[in-house]
Amino acid sequence: GAMILLGDSLHNFVDGVAIAAAFAGSVPLGIATSVAVIAHEVPQEVGDFAILLESGYSRSRALGFNALSSLAALPGAVLTYFLLPFIHSLVPYLLAVSAASFIHIALADLVPGRRTSGGLRSLAWELPLMALGIGTIITLRWHAG
């Protein structure tokens, strides 16, 4: 239980860094990054909650510790925000690492499962959702000028 909480706290801290760096690039990029972080955090936190329950934590204790580890994103974001004047030249690299992380999640976690799951019914759900995601990014970019 303690290792999952420590790892999750570090992960959430880095998510905060990614979100702050993205907003430093542009508001639409910050919004897109925030949505991506939320989209991958929800299933991850549910999984962490299940692991904590299996480790012997009560439901309320597991929920409390899970919420506490999620708050680690705030110091990551705040620290990045205040350090930006000194590390502004690093923002493109922070964004590249953030983008690489999301590409890794997609390729390592989502695509392999696609080969064995769902069939046409699953594809009928996935294609419109992918189109919605692409459309959202295009719309954010278009509104950014």
pLDDT digits (tens, 9 = 90+) for 99-138: 777 777 666 666 666 556 666 777 677 778 777 777 777 7
pLDDT at 28: 86
Coil, strand, or helix at residue 98?
helix
**List of residues 6+ apart from 41 with CB closer than 8 A:** 12, 15, 70
In the chain, % of residues over pLDDT 70: 83
Average pLDDT on 18-32 reads: 88
Nearest of 11, 7, 31 to residue 20 by alpha carbon: 31
pLDDT at 127: 74
Give the CA angle between residues 42, 31, 96 to the nearest 5°: 90
pLDDT at 117: 61
Residue with tokens 């699953």: 122
Terminal C-alpha separation, the chain:
46
pLDDT in tens, 52-76: 999 999 999 999 999 999 999 999 9
Please, are residues 91 and 24 in contact by the beta-carbon 8 Å criterion? Answer: yes
What is the total residue count of the chain?
145
User: Is the pTM higher than 0.75?
Assistant: no
Q: Which helix (H) or strand (E) holds 87?
A: helix 73-87
Return the amino acid letter for 41.
E
pLDDT at 70: 93
Domain boundaries in the chain? 2-115
